Chains A and B, each alone.
Chain A
Amino acid sequence: QSVLTQPPSVSGTPGQRVTISCSGSSSNIGSNAVKWYQQLPGTAPKLLIYGSSQRPSGVPDRFSGSKSGTSASLAISGLQSEDEAHYYCATWDDSLNGWVFGGGTRLTVL
């Protein structure tokens, strides 16, 4: 049972916009920045979003992050087949005194 709750799966068609939610509490998302990672099959994770809404250089602006209260979201617009991957949110938890990941969301492009 992850401290951060993500839907196990989401799906969309090419060109569509999808969102992935990440729900936490006041001790984690409520008081700390959220990061998002993308993990393509058989590869190491890749940093997509840091600081809840900032994109590292090289990440397309189709990917965007937001945070409100104790929840965060990753939005992917103009969905492409290469976006099929697992997506993970993560943040610091003040109560656990450590970083926590969400359980991950599998994105399927239909």
Chain B
Amino acid sequence: EVQLLESGGDLAQPGGSLRLSCAVSGFTFSSYAMSWVRQAPGKGLEWVSSITGSGDRGGVTYYADSVKGRFTISRDNSKNTLYLQMNSLRADDTGVYYCARDRLMWELLLDLDCWGQGTLVAVSS
């Protein structure tokens, strides 16, 4: 059974940092592109960042303009874990952060067929 379990969400101060983790099981993690998608309270979905599977130059990364330069996505294939390092946090970064897997091996299409339950990040002073 495919499982994705996010952790690391917390209350942070503006300008602070958090690191989110997404531990996966039930599939060959290294072969799949992974993404982070967030949802502000009462709002819609927003793509945050994606990383390709390790077969493609070791993981090419992509970022939304709203987080570029502040967030870093990475993966540790030996630990079957996806990360999102979040620096210089702002109030508008508040929301539920989901990690998700792309449908096909070796493809980054944002056809996200498996999702975690989400972890809540709150940025406030």
Give 7 A-B pairs besides A33-B109, A92-B110, A99-B47 with Cβ atoms closer than 8 angstroms.
Answer: A35-B109, A35-B110, A37-B112, A47-B111, A47-B112, A98-B65, A100-B47
Cα A88 to Cα B98 with chains together (Å): 15
Cα A50 to Cα B112 with chains together (Å): 9
List 25 contacting pairs A-B, 8 Å CB cutoff, sorted by A: A35-B110, A35-B111, A37-B45, A44-B115, A44-B117, A45-B98, A45-B100, A45-B115, A46-B115, A47-B112, A50-B109, A50-B111, A56-B103, A56-B113, A90-B45, A92-B110, A98-B63, A98-B64, A99-B110, A100-B47, A101-B45, A101-B46, A102-B44, A103-B44, A104-B44
Contacts of A104 in B (CB 8 A): 44-45
Interface residues on B, range: 20 to 34
B118 within 8 A of partner (CB): yes
A96 within 8 A of partner (CB): yes
User: Within residues 44 to 61 of chain B, which ones have a CB less than 8 A from any CB in chain A?
Assistant: 44-47, 50
Contacts of A45 in B (CB 8 A): 37, 45, 98, 100, 112, 115
- 1/0 per position for A14-53, CB-CB distance to B under 8 A? 0000000000000000000101010100001111001100
B116 within 8 A of partner (CB): yes
Cα A44 to Cα B36 with chains together (Å): 12
